[in-house]
Amino acid sequence: MTPRERFIAALERRPLEGRVPHFELVFFLTMEAFGKVHFSQRHYAQWDQMEEKERQLHRNEMADLYIATAERYEHNAIFLHPNPGSLDEVVRLIDLIRDKSGDRYFLMMHGDATFAIPGGAHMEAFAIRMADERDKVHAEAAAMVDHMLAYAEQLRRRTSLDGFALCSDYCLNTGPFLSPRQFSEFVTPYLARLLQGERDLGFYTIKHTDGNIMPILDQLVQANPHALHSIDPQAGVDIAEVKRLVGDRVCLIGNVNCGLLDSGTEEEVVENVRYSLRHGMPGYGYIFSTSNCVYTGMRLSRYELMLDTWRQYGNYPAG
């Protein structure tokens, strides 16, 4: 099986032999690992002014860096951060990576259009609007989903993209920003429609949110994504409990503690990785990753320690 095929098998919770699939939403340490600036940290203000030959050099270099990251760190999937992000450039990037790597890797992009936690300057205003302008808030929620599904339809028609990671964050470490009742009104119906629309177009769907998801876990699963990411231990989310509650209905991704990767001992990192594998792997439907991403400032050696532990303990038996 190719890395892509193994990733899809995990999303569909089918039995696997060998290594548990792995990917990261972002691998920011490209400068340390490859001597290259990360895609999201590049500024292409004069992109349209470039000669086409120069633009193609940039496209090729970015595509090569995505593939090199996946190859070196054994990622089954590549999360694309297109830059520039116009539809035509997105199409070119996907086509270029496919031309260079074939169907070896599962390709995904951000695909959310639901209300996330507002920024600090807007929290109070959003809370007031939910009470005073309920109909307008619902209309905005519906319009965001409509727009995203129209975009997804274009990607389906023009590219070989495999899926979306829906990255609107809903939860803080103490719990969801919205109460479960508010979440069921202003998010869940639109999340469910978005996920179903993306599924109907043939895409796989991964719902990401940091924080303590337990008060809304049932709603997230009922919305019907293929997988939940990040199963955040820094918010007290225990993968063993989540697996027990919903592991027969949804693939789980993540749970390796990003905080410990920065501040824990090597022994704590190894034990945390083993805990995630020990409780995520049974019954299949698990993809190995950090509880967020390989973030700027993480020691690359800690990510490599995490992977070494995964290579040792993250293997399903043959047969």
- For the question of whether the overall pTM of this predicted structure is more than 0.75, the answer is yes
CA distances from 63 to 44, 108, 151 (A): 16, 14, 22
E-assigned strand segments in the chain: 18-19, 77-79, 106-110, 163-166, 171-172, 175-176, 204-208, 227-230, 251-254, 286-287, 315-316
> How far, in Å, CA of 73 to CA of 22, rounded?
9
Question: 3-class DSSP state for residue 27?
Answer: strand
Backbone angles phi, psi at 288, to 5 degrees: -80, 130
> Distance between CA 75 and CA 23 in Å, rounded?
5
At 46 the pLDDT is 97
CB-CB contact of 207 with 167 (8 Å)? no
Domains of the chain: residue spans and CATH: 3-316 (3.20.20.210)
Name the nearest CA neighbour of 290 among 304, 282, 67: 304
Q: Are 219 and 180 in contact (CB under 8 A)?
A: yes
Cβ-based neighbours of 154, under 8 Å, separated by 6 or more? 87
d(CA 41, CA 281): 35
Start-to-end CA span in the chain (Å)? 15
In DSSP notation, 71-116 reads HHTT-SEEE---SS--HHHHHHHHHHHHHHHTTSSEEEEE---S--
| CA-closest candidate to residue 26, choices 59, 73, 96 | 73
- Residue 9's pLDDT is 98
**Cis peptide preceding 233, ω within 30 of 0:** no
Closest by Cα among 211, 166, 226 to 25: 166
Q: What are phi and psi of 313, to 5 degrees?
A: -110, -10
Give dist(CA 133, CA 117) in Å, integer.
18
How far, in Å, CA of 118 to CA of 129, rounded? 12
The pLDDT of residue 319: 75
Summarised one tens digit per residue, pLDDT across range 159-214 is 999 999 999 999 999 999 999 999 999 999 999 999 999 999 999 999 999 999 99
Phi, psi of 131 (to 5 degrees): -90, -45
Query: Can you list the residues of the chain whose pLDDT is less than 50?
Result: none
Put residue 12 in one of left, alpha, beta given phi > 0 → left and psi -120 to 50 → alpha.
Answer: alpha
